[in-house]
Structure 1
Amino acid sequence: MIISIGFKDSILEIEFKGNGQIWQYEDVPEYLYHEMMSASSQGKFWHANIKGQYRESRAN
């Protein structure tokens, strides 16, 4: 589901498999980024903790 994840200046950027879309999520706490990176399933973590919780915009 997820190809890559980046984080800078409270913006979480995620590239998704399949459609190759890149989405940015604003004002994400840095601790959530670290938790996501160490999660056993980053896709499940994103769905439970990021999606719909933060302002999002498509980057590409």
Structure 2
Amino acid sequence: MEKEYVQSSNIEAVGYDKDTETLRVWFLNGSVYDYTGVGQLEYEALRDAPSVGSYLHQNIKGQYPYEKVD
């Protein structure tokens, strides 16, 4: 999955697989999480948000299943 680097105090990059509707988030602390069932428009809104961290917290976390990637 291709990384798209973002301006954030908490998030390094985001990526998206449209075939599986999986959003991947790389955090600056080294953690990586996959969120499933995320539509492409939702991904683009996250990527382009003025505050990527705030958008993730308000619109992705708690709304989509997720798992930590090793």
1:17 shift after superposition: 1.2
What TM-score, normalized by structure 1, do the two folds share?
A: 0.93
State the structure with bigger RCO (CA 8 A, min sep 6), 1 or 2. Answer: 1
What TM-score, normalized by structure 2, do the two folds share?
A: 0.81
Residue 69 of structure 2 corresponds to residue 43 of structure 1: no
- Paired residues, number: 59
Residue 4 of structure 2 corresponds to residue 15 of structure 1: no
What aligned pairs does 1:23-34 form with structure 2 within 5 A after superposition? Answer: 23-34=33-44
- Percent of paired sites with the same residue: 31
**Displacement over 4 Å in runs of 4+:** none
Q: Structure 1: give runs of 5+ residues left out of the alignment.
A: none
* CA offsets 1:4-38 (integer angstroms, 9 cap, x no match): 100002000001112x0000000001100010111
Q: Structure 2: give runs of 5+ residues left out of the alignment.
A: 1-9
Give RMSD over aligned pairs.
Answer: 0.7
